Amino acid sequence: MAIKIRRQDALNYHTQGSPGKIEVVPTKPLSSQLDLALAYSPGVAEPCKEIEADKENVYKYTSKGNLVAVISNGTAVLGLGNIGPEASKPVMEGKGVLFKKFAGIDVFDIEIAEDDPKKLIHIIKSLEPTFGGVNLEDIKAPECFEIEQTLKREMKIPIMHDDQHGTAIISGAALINALEVVGKNIGDIKLLVNGAGASAVSCTRFYISLGVNPKNIVMCDREGVIRKDREKLDPIKEEFATDQDLHTLTEAFVGADVFLGLSSGNIVTPEQILSMAENPIVFALANPDPEIAYDLAMSTREDLIMATGRSDYPNQVNNVLGFPYIFRGALDVRATSINEEMKMAAAKAIAALAKETVPDIVNRAYGDNKITFGKTYLIPKPLDPRLITTIAPAVAKAAMESGVAKTVITDWEAYNLELQQRIGIDQRLMLRVVSRAKKDPKRVVFAEADNSKILKAAQLLWGEKVAVPILLGNKEKIDQLIEEHNLDLSGVMIIDPYEDEAKLEHFGNILYEKRKRKGLTQSECIRLMKDRNYYGAMMVELGQADALISGLTKDYPKTILPALHVIGVRPDVNRVPVCTS
């Protein structure tokens, strides 16, 4: 469902309390005279001298290594155009909030009143001593190409124009997975691109690096198909000009496998969509209104796969899936640039994550317990907490392997924990517990394995090597749920208590010996073993499992009583602690 934003609500949000969305918070104590002396004069002279002796010490004694500049001149603010540097500041502050929220990166937003590319380059380049990286934002084409390329060439810190590469990386991940869903080879597809700005050009270049054949690409702008015989083509458009006998957008749609729109809203018709090839892929990424409305496009043909830039429809191509984690990985190895290898690693990591089981925290956030890889779930959701531990390490490894990293990471498990701590300091205790669990995975019996939530939890434990699940329940039903929810539980033991009469009798006789003078007959004990809570508790009692998890579908007394009957308590214990969620 779309979130309706009222104008006054948005204005109130930015004015309540302190105006804007960001503030500077000290990271060291400042509560005594000594603290002040250490933070400033005279104590601050000592790190200054260390940095003077070796400039690399700036990463050791200052925040440079975790500080990114978000820089714009306000000439191409998304959906608003050339509104100027002051008016772009709320967007840049917002970008800073996302960096901090999703990757623990600090940001200074810098709005510069300069449209001349060469002067802007000079200003940004002079900021290199302050920042560990630079995120260029909302700078119009074609100037943005010259600015980014020059800065990347002349500066030794990560530089990325997110309008170009963020969209390319995220939509590239979506393209990888969409082609897998429809069973098409990337080298064979016909790609139609509508738009010739920074995002469209960067996306097209990135798709070529993914494997799209340049000869199969048609790009359109406001004048129609960009053809080689068009007069006065600029160098950027000339790169994608075609000699195919196509002149209009409508003609270019015929037989296209993929449409990438980075242009204007509501300019594509159902008839154009109908003319595309079988199992077409439509990425209508114009904001706030896509080139064709989602509902209209999806009602046009059943075999369509579609993505937009909107959060109220499936497959949102949202740059927040990329830039926080790309910079996180780059900063953590002090990369001197963000190169093609790092961008490719990010796209492939995003694509791979979409195929993994979605944790319940994501299901709850989006009110959908059936999020599985397929036509309506090509890329992860922005609130997926696994993004940082998936993308940042992939980017860091690519930086190391491609030779642009100034430091190396050797303990990837420790790095994974560090990343998780950056986005939630209150998770540290849980992180330590998980780390210890991985060193010695225990056998955990799930008594209610015929429930999709339980199976997803088991999948996560199994996939992360935190525990060895044992599933109790009807095997046919469990297998059906596994297939329905696209889970990978291969190798996990499934036990149906009803299928092994000998074990039921064996377990029942053991229970009878425990309870024969406490109101239970031998036949009742054998019958009780068909209850999976009794059966699972007996597995724990006999050392066939280390733990039992139950209680999702039954109330507390019915869940705990079998454990008390089978396992019991120590002789010196007369109270049982209660632990419920």
Question: Whole-angstrom Cα distance, residue 351 to residue 363?
Answer: 18
Residues whose CB is less than 8 angstroms from the CB of residue 218 and which lie 6 or more positions away in sequence, other chains included: 190, 191, 192, 193, 225, 242, 244, 246, 252, 256
Of the residues 4, 21, 40, 453, which is catalytic? Answer: 40
Tell me if residue 535 is catalytic.
no
Question: Whole-angstrom Cα distance, residue 252 to residue 256?
Answer: 7
Tell me if residue 95 is catalytic.
yes
Which runs of consecutive H residues, i.e. helices, occur in 135-245? 143-154, 162-182, 198-210, 235-238
Report residue 338 as tokens: 């963000």
Of the residues 95, 190, 397, 456, which is catalytic? Answer: 95
Report residue 397 as tokens: 């490894």
Which CA distances in Å does 337 have to 157, 158, 398, 506?
5, 4, 11, 65
Name residue 446's beta-bridge partners. 471, 549
- The DSSP annotation for 88-129 comes to HHHHHHHHHHHHHHHH--EEEEEE-----HHHHHHHHHTTTT
Cβ atoms of 64 and 288 closer than 8 Å: no
Q: How many CB atoms within 10 Å of residue 453?
A: 14
Q: How many CB atoms within 10 Å of residue 555?
A: 8
Question: Whole-angstrom Cα distance, residue 283 to residue 314?
Answer: 11
Question: Whole-angstrom Cα distance, residue 317 to residue 350?
Answer: 11
Question: Whole-angstrom Cα distance, residue 397 to residue 64?
Answer: 21
Residues whose CB is less than 8 angstroms from the CB of residue 40 and which lie 6 or more positions away in sequence, other chains included: none
* Listed residue (272, 283, 333) closest to 177, CA to CA: 283
3-state secondary structure of 418: helix
Sign, Cα dihedral of 123, 128, 130, 134 = positive
Q: Which of the residues are catalytic?
A: 40, 95
